[in-house]
Amino acid sequence: MRKVVPSILLSLLVLAQDPGVGGAPPQQKGGLCRTKPTDLVFIIDSSRSVRPAEFEQVKTFLSQVIESLNMSPNATRVAVLNYASSVKNEIALNSHKTKASLLHAVKKIEPLSTGTMTGLAIQFAMNKAFSESEGARVRSLDTSKVAIVVTDGRPQDSVKDVAARARESGIEIFAIGVGRAEMSTLRQIASEPLDEHVDYVESYSVIEKLTKKFQEALCTTVSDLCAMRDHDCEQICISSPGSFSCACRDGFTLNEDGKTCNACGAAATDLVFLIDGSKSVRPENFELVKKFINQIVDSLDVGEKKAQVGLVQYSSSVRQEFPLGQYKTKKQIKDAVKKMSYMEKGTMTGQALSYLVDSSFAVSNGARPGVPKVGVIFTDGRSQDYIKDAAKKAKDLGFKMYAIGVGNAVEDELKEIASDPVPQHYFYSADFKAINQIGKKLQMKICIKENPCECKSIVKFQEKVEELIQTLTRKLEAVTKRIVDLENKII
């Protein structure tokens, strides 16, 4: 099995001064990543509907994004506008020269607790916050102007025209909606492409989980596209000037999508997806779920004596979209998934699990005796019924159960559903857009080869790599903190 050893991680190993870490993990995002010179303005809603504790969570989110920035007068400058019925210029772009003083200023911001004049806040940002008198730089190809709007409700003024003018002036706008925020309003505010510039979370308690998305959004590559890990190559990325291509390790073949690798051989598997179609998912996210299913299907070796796929959707009731074995090819399965309509009701996960156990894996529904059974359960919220008995029965019957939660999904419920060892069989993200990354991890987890030792070694390799990356990330954060402390002492 070939290993790709990037020089950047070897450098990090030296920097971290840990001779005890062995092996060569794959490329880590951030090695060749730096913040492009950016004038960044946070526009945060502190209307009366935002409770004091929730406002503190917004400030924590701001601080975490700021922590990742390469902040200096010649790199990134940060401003913060606090708005409700009026706009308060809390921090100007030229207010703070060090990250420490900026973070201290963020902690001191207090909510205004009046109305919600989002249009007024965007107008103020365009006219005042992004002005040269406030520290903004002259617009150029080398400097970006970015606004991040966080709001939890319907604005009391118009946002469409003023947001359009702001975008036309060269400001890239990200819109984050929380709780009662309307998706239509967020889309009027944000820059194109909307799926990259609009985010929604059910509550302020999970807004911090968007931190990584914005750390990456404000990060630009120097030269090596593979080092950025934005390539989506499942195994190996090969860089070329201004481009890249994907490849697979020895013993694997590249799938038709040009990114994923077929690691599952010809072993027979009965795989059933159990998909939450409740109203909280929202139509645009339901489309992402369908893409996620087809991402997994792409990695399978589908056939009568190989992998079979079934699909069940649930909300307040359960609907079998198609049983195991109905479709014989990947194309047929993917076409059927694309045609699946959205149910849009409640969240009866327990009822759906019972259906999976009693019906989906029954011989009458296409299941094959003696063939491994795999269930992949997706949900975006708390179950409205009892799940424990059905989840236990599925595992007692020997089904391998994977639980995937997004948004307001309850991690304790995911762990209840997941097979042992639980940490390897459940996944959670606050952001629906992260479902693609979950899909890539799941492709490796559901690998079932004719030679189980070979599959086990592949999974073990992947898990070791993830451990090494996490260790290096922690050490790099510690080193970065020491450098910041030294800079502050010098200043």
pLDDT of residue 231: 61
Chain mean pLDDT for the chain: 80
pLDDT of residue 82: 95
Rounded Cα gap, residues 478 and 87, in angstroms: 37
Q: What residue type is 233 in one-letter code?
A: C
For 169, other C-beta atoms within 10 Å of its C-beta total 12
For 138, other C-beta atoms within 10 Å of its C-beta total 6
Tell me which residue of 45, 50, 48, 1 sits closest to 26, measured CA to CA.
Answer: 1
Split at pLDDT 50, 70, 90, the class of 25 is very low
Return the CATH number of the domain spanning residue range 34-221.
3.40.50.410
Residue 15 reports pLDDT greater than 70:
no
Tell me which residue of 119, 117, 46 sits closest to 80, measured CA to CA.
Answer: 46
pLDDT of residue 85: 94
Tens-place pLDDT, residues 381-392: 888 899 999 999
Residue 233 reports pLDDT greater than 90:
no
pLDDT of residue 225: 57
Higher-pLDDT residue of 448 and 184 is: 184
Rounded Cα gap, residues 261 and 176, in angstroms: 35
- Tell me the whole-structure pTM to 2 decimals: 0.45
* 267-450 and 34-221 share a CATH fold: yes
**149 has which bridge partners?**
43, 175
pLDDT of residue 34: 55
Return the CATH number of the domain spanning residue range 267-450.
3.40.50.410
Split at pLDDT 50, 70, 90, the class of 460 is low
Tens-place pLDDT, residues 392-435: 999 999 899 999 988 888 889 999 999 988 888 888 887 777 77
Residues 6+ away with beta carbon under 8 Å from 204? 50, 53, 54, 57, 58, 152, 178, 179
Residue 130 reports pLDDT greater than 70:
yes
Tens-place pLDDT, residues 322-351: 999 999 999 999 999 999 999 988 889 999
Could you list the beta-strand ranges (E) of 182-221: 198-201, 219-221
Higher-pLDDT residue of 227 and 320 is: 320
Per residue, what are the HEC states of 399-437?
Answer: CEEEEEEECCCCHHHHHHHCCCCHHHCEEEECCHHHHHH
Rounded Cα gap, residues 277 and 344, in angstroms: 6
Domain-wise residue ranges, the chain? 34-221, 267-450, 451-491
Tens-place pLDDT, residues 184-223: 999 999 999 898 899 998 888 888 888 878 877 776 533 4
168-173: list long-range contacts, CB under 8 Å, 24+ apart: 169/126, 169/130, 170/139, 170/145, 171/125, 171/126, 171/130, 171/145, 171/146, 171/147, 172/144, 172/145, 172/146, 172/147, 172/197, 173/122, 173/146, 173/147, 173/148, 173/149, 173/197
pLDDT of residue 220: 52
* Residue 237 contacts residue 340 (beta carbons within 8 Å): no
Q: What residue type is 69 in one-letter code?
A: L
Tens-place pLDDT, residues 77-104: 999 999 999 999 999 999 988 888 999 9
pLDDT of residue 47: 92
